[in-house]
Structure formats: C-alpha cells, structure tokens
Amino acid sequence: MSLIVQKFGGSSVKDAERIKNVARIIAETYLKGNDVIVVLSAQGDTTDDLIAKAGEINPHASKREMDMLLSTGEQISVALCAMALEVMGLPVVSLAAWQVGIQSSGVHSDARIRRIDSERVQAELDQHRIVIVTGFQGVDRSGDVTTLGRGGSDTSAVALAAAFRADLCQIFTDVDGVYTTDPRLVPNARKLDEITYDEMLELASQGAQVLHNRSVELAKKFKVNLEVVSSLERKPGTKVKEVTKMMEKTNIAGVAKDTSIARIALVGLQHNPGVAFQVFDLLSKHNINVDVILQSIGREETKDITFTIHKKDQEEAETILNEHRAALRFDHIEADDKIGKVSIVGAGLMSNCGVAAKMFEALYEAGINIQMINTSEIRVSVLLDEEDVNRAVKAIHAKFFDEI
Ligand code: ADP
Ligand code: ASP
Ligand code: MG
C-alpha cells in the first residue's frame, strides 16, 4: 500500500463533469488499495472572478480581506469533489487548510507554509477515508487565513507529500506534462519524459506556469517523487527528479517567458558604499522580491540602479522609494511595465559556451532588441519589450529544437 498525493488544478475541476472525472481518478487510485490525499484548486476562473468582484467594491482592499475572499474558491471545490465521491459510495472527508493545520507565515497573498500538523489527516487516513484538502492556503499564528500566491496549490500538494512522506505526488493539469516551452504558444514544443528539480525550478521561476516554483523548491528539499500528468488523458507525464538519464546534455531543457514583471530604475544615486544595501533592504522589509539587478556607473559621481519586480508590487515599490528619496538621494525614478523576460534553462548550459550565443543569434535574426541580460549556472535570461516576448520564445525555441 502506498500513500499518494494527487493535486488537480482549476481547469481539471472547472464544472460538474470535470469534478466527476477527477472523482473517478481518485476512486481508481483508492480502490487499488492506496491511501489518498487530494489537493484541489478553485474551479476554472473562480480566483480571477473573485478578484474582479473585490475590485467592484474596493480596488485597494486590504490583503487580509482579499485572502478571506480568495480562500473560498478552494473550499467550494473540495466540498463538491467530496460529494462526487460520496455518490460513488466511497469514504471521504474534505478539509480546509485551517482544519488540517497547515500553518503559514502571516504575509497575506504571499504566505509560506511553516509546518503541517499531521494528527487530523492521519486520523482520517487511519479510518481509510480519502482526504481532500484546499490548496493555496494556510493559517497564520493569529488564526487568520493566508494564501500562498497565485498557482500556490501545487505548493500545498508538495508540502503535504513531504509532511506525510508520500510515495508519489501527482500534479494533474490540462497538459500532459512539462514541455520544452508552453505548448499553447509553440504547438510543436516537445514533451519531456523527465526533468531535474533544478531545471524545473528555473523554468517555473522564469514563468513556466505548469508548476508553482516553490512546489519544486520543496520537492527538491524533501526529495518528493513528483510527476506532472494530464487529468483528461491517461498517458505518462513528466517526472521531476534529482538526476535524469541524459546527464551530459548538450541541448537546453526549455524556454520560459514572464510578462508579469516591471522594471524600475533609480537614476542619479550617490556613488557611495551602502547605497545598494539601503535600497534593497528597504524593499525586502516590505516583502517586495527583486529579480534582475543592474548597476551602471552614471555621470558625475552618480550611478543608476535598475531592477525588476513583479507588476503587482510596482505601485508600492515606487511609493516607498519616493518616500525615502531624501535619504536615498536619487534624482528620479523611471518605471516601465511594458517589458517581459525570456529565459533558456539547461543543466549543462554554462559549460557549453555556444549556448548563450545561439540564443542571442536567434534574437538578432528576429530583429529583437535586448534590454538587459542576466545569467545563473543553468539559465540565461533576457529582458525585452513586452510586445517582442512571444516572437522571441518562438524564435529561440526554433533555433534550439527545430534543427535537431
Ligand atoms: P492548473 O490550473 O492545472 O494549475 P496551470 O494553468 O497553472 O494549470 O498550468 C498549466 C499551463 O501551463 C498549461 O496549460 C500551459 O499553457 C502552461 N505552460 C507554460 N509553460 C509550460 C511548459 N513548459 N510545459 C507545459 N505547460 C506549460
Ligand atoms: N486558485 C489559485 C489561483 O488561481 C491557486 C491555484 O490555482 O493554484 O492562483
Ligand atoms: Mg497552476
């Protein structure tokens, strides 16, 4: 007997038919003699619809109240799915995160899971019940509901798999695995049989929506046996693991894009020690994550610092920086939210010197201008005009995969 965690995303539970389909998959797993913990997302576009509803009443609603609202989407799914399993005569219980004891930090809309209490879920498993848990949420020290960030149900699933030492964590979604790029943008993208945690983490962090990046981080840390599979077709998906068969790869694993970013430039900063520290310390104290950073020596003893953040943080970042303008002594802020980032990811990338050049060649041939470049051991990212992003993904993907 194994313990299996199965997570189903929004499109997999979007209506009654899809919920019945999910119930059949769960039932099949359970009837084979496995213990099953299920994690569900909100149905279809529910989370977006709830955000729009809030906007009609208060476009500047507090993050706490937004979390109260958004967490309801997942509660609907788990109750409906439990009802579908009841019809099939199977023992089942649905639980919200606060009932499980998924304890989180108190950062509303971007909370981290701190620990998961095992008693309630274990007691239900001991009674041979299927346990269905709300994804995307936790409860903080004061008992308030928090959410984990968009796409966070994947992280709930992997955290439960780690906490209960599950034999397998399956992420069911509307594609049948991880592809070399988003198959909706590039129809001839290839499905990967397997991918390393590190490559998947970079792809997810650079915008490949198929897995929430923190779910991959947790899977790596706790060695969770993770796979991405389709909820609509029965066929093998993609396994995410420590090492893959092709250890000395010459090609990249994939291409990712991210258009949810904004660029901020602080122009005319003093060229003194401690300036970068002051700027980024200030942003981190407000829980604003910074990604690509570039510093340039400017004119007359001054310098510019340019960085990217998530679009949702842009207004807050500009306000905070302007409030501290006297202390930070910069001349002015230039902000741009019409940008995007395209990245290539591959384990052997930095030791294959031609790879970055090949990416830049693809962009040159497509007549696309690069604004900033950023690299890690296994990734090269370029910042571009937002309107060039899709074209860039297609050109780079074709360069690396059409010629093999
Ligand atoms: P769910 O609702 O199941 O959580 P998501 O919409 O969050 O599903 O993620 C699945 C989507 O991720 C796919 O429909 C696909 O368009 C997108 N995607 C982006 N990059 C990739 C990739 N490299 N491989 C597979 N899917 C990708
Ligand atoms: N329902 C949440 C969202 O739409 C969480 C998730 O789907 O993973 O972001
Ligand atoms: Mg998702």
Give me the tens of pLDDT residue by residue for the chain, a chain 404 residues long.
Answer: 899 999 999 999 999 999 999 999 999 999 999 999 999 999 999 999 999 999 999 999 999 999 999 999 999 999 999 999 999 999 999 999 999 999 999 999 999 999 999 999 999 999 999 999 999 999 999 999 999 999 999 999 999 999 999 999 999 999 999 999 999 999 999 999 999 999 999 999 999 999 999 999 999 999 999 999 999 999 999 999 998 776 556 689 999 999 999 999 999 998 888 999 999 999 999 989 999 999 887 667 888 999 999 999 999 999 999 999 988 889 999 999 999 999 999 987 877 878 999 999 999 999 999 999 999 989 999 999 999 999 999 999 999 998 65
Exposed / middle / buried, residue 62 (Cβ in 10 Å: 0-12, 13-18, 19+): exposed
What's the pLDDT score for residue 270?
Answer: 86
- Give 2-47 as a DSSP string: -EEEEEE-GGGGSSHHHHHHHHHHHHHHHHTT-EEEEEEPPSTTHH
Secondary-structure breakdown of the chain: helix, strand, coil percentages, each rounded to the nearest 5: 40, 25, 35
Fill in the DSSP letter of residue 119.
Answer: H
Q: Which of 153, 172, 215, 260 to mutate to test the pocket of ligand 2 (most atoms within 8 A of CB)?
A: 153
The residues pairing with 38 across neighbouring beta strands, listed in sequence order, are: 6, 132
For 103-128, b where at least 16 C-beta lie within 10 A, e where not — what string? bbbeebbbbbbeebeeeebeebbeee
Q: Is the CB of 343 under 6 A from ligand 1?
A: no
Helix axes 354-365, 389-397, angle to 10 degrees: 130
Exposed / middle / buried, residue 335 (Cβ in 10 Å: 0-12, 13-18, 19+): middle
* Ligand 1 atom nearest to 181, measured from its CA: 23
Exposed / middle / buried, residue 87 (Cβ in 10 Å: 0-12, 13-18, 19+): exposed
Residue nearest to atom 4 of ligand 2 (CA): 47
Vertex 229, ends 116 and 165: CA angle to 5°? 30
| H or E stretch at 78 | helix 63-87
Q: Is the CB of 80 under 6 A from ligand 1?
A: no
Q: pLDDT, tens digit, for every residue of 87-133? A: 999 999 999 999 999 999 999 999 999 999 999 999 999 999 999 99
Q: pLDDT, tens digit, for every residue of 292-340? A: 999 887 667 888 999 999 999 999 999 999 999 988 889 999 999 999 9
In 3D space, the residue among 71, 87, 146 whose CA is nearest the CA of residue 114 turns out to be 146
Q: Can you tell me the distance from the alpha carbon of 9 to that of 229, in angstroms, rounded to the nearest whole number?
A: 11
Q: In what order do the strands lie in the sheet with 145-147?
A: 113-116, 102-104, 137-139, 145-147
Distance from Cα 149 to the centre of ligand 3, integer Å: 11
Q: Can you tell me the distance from the alpha carbon of 112 to that of 103, in angstroms, rounded to the nearest whole number?
A: 9
In 3D space, the residue among 373, 376, 387 whose CA is nearest the CA of residue 339 turns out to be 387
Distance from Cα 338 to the centre of ligand 2, integer Å: 24
Distance from Cα 84 to the centre of ligand 2, integer Å: 21
